[in-house]
Structures are given as structure tokens and as C-alpha cells.
Chains A and B, each alone.
Chain A
């Protein structure tokens, strides 16, 4: 009873918030609704008893969208509405509809209840984090490690791209020195 009410509340709120993300012309509204939608998705995980995944969803997306805000802050005046430059509305519609169709076909298999089966059934003796750990480090060990290596590569790439002059602190350089550099 409570679970069904909670499910419908979460569903309506999540869909509504993501609609705002897509349709809003204000960067601040779009990002805020994206963040709160991501947080509300954690609610679904809690409802089905996957507490650990719910909290991971919360922690990961709170941090990720925070970084998105930093970019929004740098590129836009967030208190004003944005004028989007759409060159061709027809193309936008064609691409949008075809992506939607593709998604429906891709996830359509899930709708058929016969097609759903657990490749790694839940062991009721294990707590949530243990079950996730078992799945990651036995059946899905190789994809897990490959993903870890990809993230490592991304991190090193980021450090190399951003890491010019990392050993000198800009705030420690005297003003005169900075001005001399500007003249050159």
C-alpha cells in the first residue's frame, strides 16, 4: 500500500522533473530539476530493497551534477533565459522521434515478463553491499576491471590536459611578475 503510493509519487515527480530539464530555457531550472530527478530515482532503488544501489545513485549523481553546475556557472548567466539557436525544427523532430523509437525497441524486451530472468539470483543470506560485491567480483569481474581501467585512463588524460604549470601556484606569484608576463 505505502509502497505503491510512494512508487506513483516518485514516478510522477521524476517524469515531471525530467520534462522540466528538457523543456526549460533557464539553465538553473534545467540543472536543478536534473539533480532532483536523479536524487528521486534513488527512491525507486529504496522501494525495491536495493538500499546500497540507492545510496550509490544518490552519492554519484549529486557529485556529477555538481560538476555540471560548475560548467553552467562558467558558461551562462544563469539568472536569464537562454535563447537556443535551433536551425531546423524538422530535423530536431526527426532525430528526436527516431531516438525515442530506438529506445522503445531496445527496452521493449523488458516489458515482456517472460523475458525477464535473473542471471545471478539474489542470495537472501547476504546483505545488500555483499550481494553487489559478489556480482561484481565473480560473474562480472572482467567488465568491472575494464571499466576501472577506462576511468583511470580518463583521469590521467584529464590531469595531463589540465595539469600545465600545476607546480606553480597562481596566488603565490607576485602582482608585478604577473604584469611583466602580460607585457610580453
Chain B
């Protein structure tokens, strides 16, 4: 096996392990951040500052009884969580995470392996990621329909509504930066912003950036738009009948999608993993992704839920015209 292949396998393992761990750690961060914003302490009892709460939650999830309702369609019911988790990780395959680097020769076994910045550098990266993330919504849809529960059906109906609303906005908002860069590859996006903070696309495309963030929140079911499992209205929506590990897989999928959206926002609009002065790129990249992750939690603490009709009104009557106007103006400026 050549050096690149070993490096790719190492990268796959790193992403699988680290991102699954982030999904667990993200729950802790989310609870802490929300707690501080609401002047509470959050988890405090298990371990120092409640850090071992993650382990406790994990053990609870893994050892819970796995219940499949009597009238449910058992095959689809067990398939649905896998779709959410798998598509979330497949989307990660086309994401550039860190600069390409070579493992030092001194290390045994894997020395000299080249770890690429992207697992699969297809030249239509951003479309592939958005497409697979869209396919991920089949998880909630199938879950809700298979469990023969009225709340589940409502949840999956809302999934369809939400999908058909935000998908147009996501596509159109990314279109304007794509026109500026002239490529669909995320590496080209990164290289186009190599000249420091001034060359970030966010300054040229502020409208597209905000539209993308809003649509991204809808895509990951974050709070202003978490219609699918809005607990005050439809119990828990599509996850009403799920328990144990299957429920945990939906959770991992959701947090992985949050990380993916943060990474796309960082790469497409905020300079990617380029160095600025003496600060190295990978550190900046992590800081950017962490900021966007934090932004999602912040928004959750700050904004109330919206109703489904408000969501559709927002997407189709406000955001989509804005995105179209933005694309047209970008086109005119490029032509001039």
C-alpha cells in the first residue's frame, strides 16, 4: 500500500473516532452553555464540573432496553437511525479538515504516510456534502412513518415540510460564493481565501453567509427550526418511540451534522485552514468551527421556536427572494 492510502485510512479512523466523541462531548457543552446563559450551573454532580456526565449518559444509552412497538414496521424502524448516522459521516468524507501533512518517518508502521486534507477529493465537494446531508433527512422521515404513532407521523410530515422549505435556500445561498470562486471544490474555496482576513468571502457575500447559516440551522434541526421533535407540541416527534442506542444514533447524526455545517461555514465563508501571520491554520480552523458550534447553542438559548407555517413563510417568502436577488447582483458584478 502506498503512503497516501495509509494516510487516508488513518484520516478516516480519526474522523470517525473524533467526531463520534465530539457528539458525546457536544451534549455536555450544550448543557453547560445553556445553563450558564440561563444562570444555572448545569450538570455538576458526576465528576469534576459534571464532566463524567458524558460517560454516565453513554452507559445509560447503551444499556437501555431496545423497544420496538408492536405495530411498527420493524425493518424500516431499525433502518431509520442508521440512515441519519451514516449519511452524516458520509458527508464528512468530502470535507477538508486540516492542511495536508506527512507523518514523520521516525514513527513505526505508519511513518511517512501522507494524511490528505480531504478523504475523497471529488471536485464537486460542496454539492456532494449538501446532497448527502439532504439524504440524511430520510432518517427522521422513515422513523416517523414506521413507528405507527400519531406524533411520529406528525414529526415526519414536518420533516417533509422543513426539507422542502430550507433546501432551496441552502442551494441558492451557496451559489453566490460558488460563482465568485468558480469551482465546486472546497479546497479551491480554501485556496481562494489565502490572503488573510481581508480576502474572506464573508466580506464579499454577507447576505449569502447569513442565509446559509439560517438554512444550516434548519438543516440540523437546531432550535429556532426544530419542528421535527418540538417537545412542547408533538411530544418528541419522530423519536417518540425510540429508546436506547437507536435514539443515540439519531443524536450522533444530529451533532455530526452540526459539526459539518460549522466546517462548511468556516471553509466557504471564513478563510478555511489558511495561516494568518504566525498563527497556524489548523488552530484557527478549530477555533472557527468551535465558534460556529457555540453560535448554534447561543441561538438555541436566545430564540424561541417557530411554528411550521412561520418557517415556510420565512424560507419561501423572505429568504428565497433574498437569495435570488443576491445571486443576480453577484452575477452582474462578475460580468462588469
Which residues of chain A have a CB within 8 Å of any CB of chain B? Answer: 26, 28-29, 32, 35, 39, 51-52, 55-56, 58-59, 62-63, 66-67, 69-70, 72-73, 78-79, 127-129, 169-171
Contact = CB atoms under 8 A, between A and B. Distances in A.
Contacts of B309: 169-171
Contacts of A128: 123-124
B138 A35 contact: yes
B160 A79 contact: no
Contacts of B134: 59, 62-63
Contacts of A69: 141, 145, 156, 160
B131 interface: yes
A79 B71 contact: yes
Nearest to A172: B309
Contact of B124 (A35, A55, A70, A78): A55
Given A58-B135, A79-B73, A169-B309, A63 B163 contact: yes
B93 interface: no
B245 interface: no
B174 interface: no
Interface in B158-181: 160, 163-164, 167, 171
Contacts of B183: 127
Contacts of A52: 124, 127, 184
Contact of B131 (A28, A59, A67): A59
B145 A66 contact: no
B72 interface: yes
A66 B124 contact: no
A66 B163 contact: yes
A121 B135 CA distance: 33
A63 B76 contact: no
B164 A63 contact: yes
B12 to A, nearest CB: 16
Most buried by B among A39, A55, A169: A55
B146 interface: yes
B153 interface: yes
A51 B167 contact: no
A70 B307 contact: no
Contacts of B71: 79
10 contacts: A32-B138, A32-B142, A51-B122, A55-B131, A58-B132, A63-B167, A66-B163, A69-B145, A73-B145, A171-B309
A169 B310 CA distance: 9
A28 B122 CA distance: 33
Contacts of B148: 79
A76 to B, nearest CB: 10
A126 B153 CA distance: 46
B185 to A, nearest CB: 9
B54 interface: no
Contact of B164 (A51, A56, A66, A79): A66
B250 interface: no
A183 B175 CA distance: 50
Contacts of A28: 73, 76, 142, 145-146
B189 interface: no
Given A32-B79, A73-B153, 13 more contacts: A32-B76, A59-B127, A59-B131, A66-B138, A66-B141, A69-B141, A70-B157, A73-B145, A73-B157, A78-B145, A79-B71, A127-B123, A129-B184
Contact of A39 (B122, B130, B135): B135
B81 to A, nearest CB: 14
Contacts of B145: 28, 69, 72-73, 78-79
Nearest to A42: B131
B164 A67 contact: yes
Contacts of A72: 145
Contacts of B289: none
B179 to A, nearest CB: 12
Q: Most chain-B CB neighbours within 10 Å: which of A26, A29, A69?
A: A69
B157 A62 contact: no
B65 to A, nearest CB: 22
A62 B146 contact: no
A79 B131 contact: no
What are the 9 tightest A-B residue pairs by CB atom distance, in nearest-first order? A58-B131, A79-B148, A70-B160, A55-B127, A59-B131, A51-B124, A62-B135, A78-B145, A62-B134
Contacts of B167: 63
Contacts of B127: 52, 55-56, 59
Nearest to B171: A59
Contacts of B130: 59
B128 interface: yes
A111 to B, nearest CB: 31
B137 interface: yes
B125 to A, nearest CB: 10
Nearest to A39: B135
B2 to A, nearest CB: 15
